[in-house]
Amino acid sequence: MTNWRRWLPLTALLLLLLALLALGGLDRKAPAVGEIPYSTFKSLIEKALVPDIRIEGSQVTGTLREPQPLGPAAAMVGRFRTRLPPIADPELMPLLERQKVAIDVADDGTDGWGRILASLLPWLLFLGVYAFLWRRLYTGVAGGLGQGGLGNFLDGSRTEETRPARKVTFADVAGQDNAKREVSELVEYLKEPARFQRLGAEVPHGILLMGPPGTGKTLLARALAGEAEVPFYSTSASEFIEVYVGVGASRVRRMFDEAKRRAPSIIFIDELDAVGRLRGSGFGGGHDEREQTLNQILAEMDGFAGHEAVIVLAATNRPDVLDPALLRPGRFDRHVTLDLPDRKAREEILQVHVRKVPLAADVNLSAVAAGTPGFSGADLKNLVNEAAIQAARESGEKVAARHFDDARDKIMMGTVRTLAIQPDEKHRLAVHEAGHTLAAFHLPTADPIHKVTIIPRGRALGMTQQLPEADRHTLPEDYLRDRLALMLAGRAAERELIGNVSSGADDDIRQATALARAMVGRWGMAKEVGPVDLRDGEEHPFLGREMALPRRFSERMADVVDDAVRRLLLEAEERSVAIIRANRAALERLVAALEEHELLEREAIARCLGAMPLAPVAAAG
Ligand code: ATP
């Protein structure tokens, strides 16, 4: 929506106020008029104080030869006004003639109407603006869908056909092969609906795209519209309910009407869960704005006649909270899931986004993909953009591997912070991070170390970064035990080298405890608990990475779980202490190098640690 449209109603209101002020102003400019009784008027004439009068209907106005103290407050006035009595006064005309008063009779009809109109004008203006607003708000007429400026001011939603600057096709969607296959079946139908309708084939009207944020749901919907070359109406469900009560349903109606009119076409509703939550769970006792909007969507989808080639795509990352009515046959009955990309798909997505980016020879997209597990398509797009920004800042001609590395750190950890760190604190930081690094180097199943730094970034003061060689879909027990030991190794190193621990291990302990709880309560990895699910409530299907374990079991079981969790953590700590004691000299070398350089890459770390013969480490168990 353009900015001037946003200001239109305010401008209208200001104009109205100005008009009112102007009218008031005109009135004020007129000379002071005294309201006098008819009898006073007659006596003024008798005294020959009135040279002329003007008669308009029953009203008489006139000017005095000189100002007189007239009216209720006896103020000095130069003009007067009076009313003629309802019964004609036979003496008046002879008196006027006698005193030679000039008489002007106004054309009562037109002048009267003009006066009435003038007095009504502000009200008419006000009513006009009000009616206009109301009409645009509730019916969306006046020029059709989303065309009016004022309508859009209140509207906020982009219900008009959305045309991307460049045609998006399936080639722009990397990976997501299953989802693309499912959606591409619809292209033929949208291109030639008649062929399907002739044979009585029922093509799904509603398709629900599900998946974590940034996996390309919107992109896929756009690509479908681009491939089929049909109008595309895109909106976000949260926009339906952001302004006034009752507006959402009318917006839905307008969007569907317009899409049907221009069929074959595609409607895309993003964030369907914003309106599609289970009905009755709203605050407004079951009849709130959201539910009205949802009901309207359901009604519109039921109302599709067989011949209307309109496909409704909706996206959500909370399919678990959707009202079951939305998922019934005839509505969003086809479900397409988009997952976070695996390593191969990440590389393909990177390739799509580096099309216009000049890359230096040292950039290996496969290595970048390997180093970005858990990144969504949107994250990868952001990564390429950040890397390009870094390169541009350095006035480089090409984007190099280190720019990608920096960009990844920035996305994962935040920007580098300038922080005044005291030498003893810096030493402790180096010890802590070196402890993690040493453990990662020696633990049998730990992911290879990538780099270690004590340069503060985001909330972290230091960081040890590992790069998994492949994406992991399941986590074996020995890997998890090694992870616990690795998480606690920073703190163990502080105790061994400095003699005490610090609050720097806060996040390590939190994460290690959460992981140990999941191992005990979800994955049956503690003998004393066994394979029992001790979870409570539903975990978020896509975002639920928190591994907290709320309680829904007996107090006795809670004690057993607590003991098992504690045992796991203590065992892990013992293992990390063992590694540190066995490799103390190597650790001290690493600490010194880290204090000096603040950042060590894989090779430098290997040089520090690899010169020593590896001490044997007890296997997990
Ligand atoms: P949300 O749930 O937050 O709305 P979404 O799943 O709709 O997210 P998009 O808006 O489609 O995600 O993705 C954001 C951007 O990320 C896209 O414009 C695109 O540039 C990039 N992207 C995401 N997935 C892919 C992919 N598979 N291939 C190429 N680019 C992708």
Which tens digits make up the pLDDT trace of 134-148?
Answer: 665 554 433 333 334
Ligand 1 atom at shortest distance from the alpha carbon of 175: 27
pLDDT confidence bin for 86, thresholds 50/70/90? confident
Query: Atom 11 (ligand 1): residue with closest C-alpha?
Result: 216
Q: Is the model's pLDDT at 255 over the cut of 80?
A: yes
pLDDT confidence bin for 45, thresholds 50/70/90? confident
Pocket residue to mutate for ligand 1, from 181, 208, 210, 215, most atoms within 8 A of Cβ = 215
Helices (H), 419-505: 423-442, 477-498
Q: Is the model's pLDDT at 334 over the cut of 80?
A: yes
Catalogue the active-site residues. Answer: 433
Q: What is the mean pLDDT of residues 607-618?
A: 58
Q: Report pLDDT for 136.
A: 58
Å from CA of 218 to ligand 1 middle: 6
Å from CA of 349 to ligand 1 middle: 10
Q: Report pLDDT for 147.
A: 39
Average pLDDT, the chain: 80
Angle between helix axes 555-582 and 477-498 (nearest 10 degrees) is 60
Phi, psi of 247 (to 5 degrees): -80, -40
Say how far apart CA 330 and CA 435 lie, in whole Å.
59
Q: Is the model's pLDDT at 239 over the cut of 80?
A: no
Q: Mark 188-221 as b/e (b = at least 16 C-beta within 10 Å).
A: ebbeebeeebeeeeebbbbbbbbbbebbbbbbbb
The partner residues of 81 in beta bridges, in order of sequence, read 35, 61
Note if the pTM is more than 0.85: no
Å from CA of 378 to ligand 1 middle: 5
pLDDT confidence bin for 29, thresholds 50/70/90? very low
pLDDT confidence bin for 21, thresholds 50/70/90? low
Between 127-131, 235-239, 538-542, the lowest mean confidence (pLDDT) is in 538-542
Q: Is the model's pLDDT at 32 over the cut of 60?
A: yes
Q: Report pLDDT for 383.
A: 93
Q: What is the mean pLDDT of residues 440-469?
A: 86
Host H or E run for residue 145: none
Ligand 1 atom at shortest distance from the alpha carbon of 352: 29
Q: Report pLDDT for 155.
A: 47
Q: Is the model's pLDDT at 620 over the cut of 70?
A: no
Between 158-172, 388-402, 588-602, the lowest mean confidence (pLDDT) is in 158-172
Q: What is the mean pLDDT of residues 261-265?
A: 83
Phi, psi of 553 (to 5 degrees): -145, 175
Position 325, amino acid: A
Query: Atom 18 (ligand 1): residue with closest C-alpha?
Result: 219
Phi, psi of 182 (to 5 degrees): -60, -45
Ligand 1 atom at shortest distance from the alpha carbon of 220: 11
* Contact between residue 205 and residue 311 where contact means Cβ atoms under 8 Å apart: yes
Å from CA of 267 to ligand 1 middle: 18
Helices (H), 62-214: 92-98, 108-138, 149-155, 177-191, 193-198
The 10 Å Cβ neighbour count of residue 12 is 16
Q: Which of 542, 472, 475, 484 is nearest to 508 (CA)?
A: 484
Pocket residue to mutate for ligand 1, from 208, 381, 382, most atoms within 8 A of Cβ = 381
Q: Which of 298, 309, 297 is nearest to 202 (CA)?
A: 309
Q: Which domains are delineated in the chain?
A: 26-111 (3.30.720.210), 159-337 (3.40.50.300), 343-413 (1.10.8.60), 423-620 (1.20.58.760)
Q: How far apart are the first and last CA of the chain?
A: 62
Which burial class, exposed, middle or buried, applies to 388 when counting CB atoms under 10 A from its CB (0-12, 13-18, 19+)? buried
Q: Report pLDDT for 319.
A: 81
pLDDT confidence bin for 280, thresholds 50/70/90? low
* Contact between residue 462 and residue 456 where contact means Cβ atoms under 8 Å apart: yes
Å from CA of 118 to ligand 1 middle: 59
Pocket (CB within 6 angstroms of ligand 1)? 173-176, 211, 213-219, 270, 315, 317, 349, 352, 377-378, 381
**In this predicted model, what pLDDT tens digit does every residue of 382-421 receive, in sequence order?**
999 999 998 998 887 889 888 998 898 888 877 777 777 8
Better-predicted residue by pLDDT, 224 or 612: 224
